[in-house]
Chain A
Amino acid sequence: MKYLANVATLQYAPDKCTGCGRCVEVCPQGVFVLRQKLAAVTDKDLCMECGACAMNCEFGAISVNSGVGCAAALINSMVTGRPPSCGCDSTAAGCCG
């Protein structure tokens, strides 16, 4: 299943990549693959902006604007002005199963 097209903020700079493969290991959406010893993005629309790849690329080749993709949290943050946080620790939202 894919979500909206052309909204993901994932950015990848191949010139910094060393081909270590960490991004392939951590991405839960199969966005990255290794091709000719370099990482390559298969389909950006698959990216759910979890941030695992950017968190674990030692060489700063990846950046992504990660955050909770959860309507309740985002509405909450619009109302309160606080950064969005998932409702895992309140009974408010059904976030994060």
Chain B
Amino acid sequence: MPTMQTLKFVKREVPPFAAGALHTQAGPVYRATSNWSGADYWGMIKSRVSAFRMSYAVPAGLYAVGDPDKDSDVFVSANYKLSFDVLRRSLKGMNAWVLALDTKSINVWCAAGKGTFGTDELVAKIAEAKLDTVVSHRRLILPQLGAVGVNASGVRKKTGFSVSFGPVHARDIPAYVRAGYKKTKEISTIRFSLLDRMVLTPMEINPAMKKFPWIAAGILLIFGLQPSGILFKEAWFNSLPFLVMALLAVFAGAFVTPVLLPFVPFRSFAIKGWIVGMLPVFLSTHVFNTIDRHDTILLIVAYLLFPALSSYLALQFTGATTFTGMSGVKKELKIGLPIYIGTAGISLVLMIVFKLKEWGVV
């Protein structure tokens, strides 16, 4: 096995997951280990919860796993490091080539939708890597979700390589290979398990919580406003139930609804979110009596506003799901947006009436 010193002529910086390199007719190719380091796990966590994933990339190009030769399979991947890491881990014990496309550190699914994981990029990377000299066969295995962006017959016409779309998830590759490159329905459909949904929720809660200070400031302002100025002590005391309900509404729409998705009735995400958002309002007004129940206006506002907030946030989760199509989301928005805007408008008017009453104006 060649050592790292012999590879000085490789211009690319040595990736941390490299375990030596192979010499091929097209030049040296780094061998990617199938084992994850602590940094790999930490990177996975960071990319799941923050914008860190926007820059989590591996250099695009050809890699080796194990000791591949001219007959070994070629798996195509994105250069989003998490996708790449999952692939090299899934190939443990196999001898294969991995061709990472430059998807600007975006995962396969999303990059295929945008076209960066596409026919042209694949054709270009096959040429750059001189793949036709590295392997003697003309077969490529792509992640199934790449089919959104890659036209298999186009690739064959331009490069001579015929494309097979493998399983949806890289972790099913060993089973796919063992079965003679055949897919069961199980590994060719997207599953959207509780865990899948769970790991997606931080990306829903984060943006919502960034806006929460504004919601809170608005609530404090409305409750604290007096003819004589803003009274903060009163503001805090009177708005506490609303602040708690707003927080619970965010939680209901951005966390509870996504996680309990199949168990909440109705197919519409907006309705699902509305139902789940109704619960905290009901609990806090009728069970814990946080609002004076004779205060009809506040009660109405709470019932209007917070389920709508939860509904809106739940609708955002359509961006992360694996089964919502554009036509459906459009339909929901067409009906939902006017309702959200109307609800916000009516709530505002009611709060003004509430304040005027409080001040004894009407």
Contact = CB atoms under 8 A, between A and B. Distances in A.
A17 B316 CA distance: 37
A40 interface: no
A48 B110 contact: no
Interface string A36-62: 000000000011111110011010000
B324 A3 contact: yes
Contacts of B114: 85-86, 88
Nearest to B153: A58
A97 B199 contact: yes
Contacts of A25: 144, 147, 164-165, 183, 188
Interface in B194-245: 199-200, 203-204, 206-207
A52 B325 contact: no
A20 B312 CA distance: 42
A89 interface: yes
A35 interface: no
B168 interface: yes
Interface in B242-292: 261-262, 267-269
B320 A96 contact: yes
Interface stretch (B8-16, B330-338, B354-362): B330-338
A82 interface: no
The number of chain B residues touching the other chain, given as a range, is 35 or more
A28 B185 CA distance: 9
B171 interface: no
Contacts of B48: 97
Interface stretch (B19-27, B28-36, B101-109, B123-131): B101-109
A89 B106 contact: yes
A63 interface: no
A9 interface: yes
Contacts, number: 164
B42 interface: no
Nearest to A96: B110
B106 A96 contact: yes
A88 B106 contact: yes
A34 interface: no
B323 A4 contact: no
B331 A70 contact: no
B270 to A, nearest CB: 9
B327 A8 contact: yes
A65 B320 CA distance: 19
Given A3-B324, A3-B328, A66-B148, 15 more contacts: A1-B192, A1-B323, A2-B323, A3-B267, A8-B327, A9-B327, A28-B145, A28-B189, A48-B323, A69-B321, A70-B318, A73-B319, A94-B200, A94-B203, A96-B106
Interface of A: 1-5, 7-9, 22, 25-30, 46-52, 55-56, 58, 65-75, 78, 84-89, 91-97
Interface of B: 48, 51, 54, 104, 106-107, 109-111, 113-114, 144-145, 147-153, 164-165, 168, 183, 185, 188-190, 192, 199-200, 203-204, 206-207, 261-262, 267-269, 315-333, 337
Task: Give the 10 A-B CB pairs with smallest separation, nearest first.
Answer: A94-B203, A70-B319, A49-B325, A96-B110, A26-B147, A95-B319, A52-B147, A67-B326, A4-B328, A7-B327
15 contacts: A9-B325, A29-B189, A55-B150, A65-B327, A68-B326, A69-B326, A71-B329, A74-B326, A74-B333, A86-B319, A87-B319, A88-B114, A94-B203, A96-B319, A97-B107
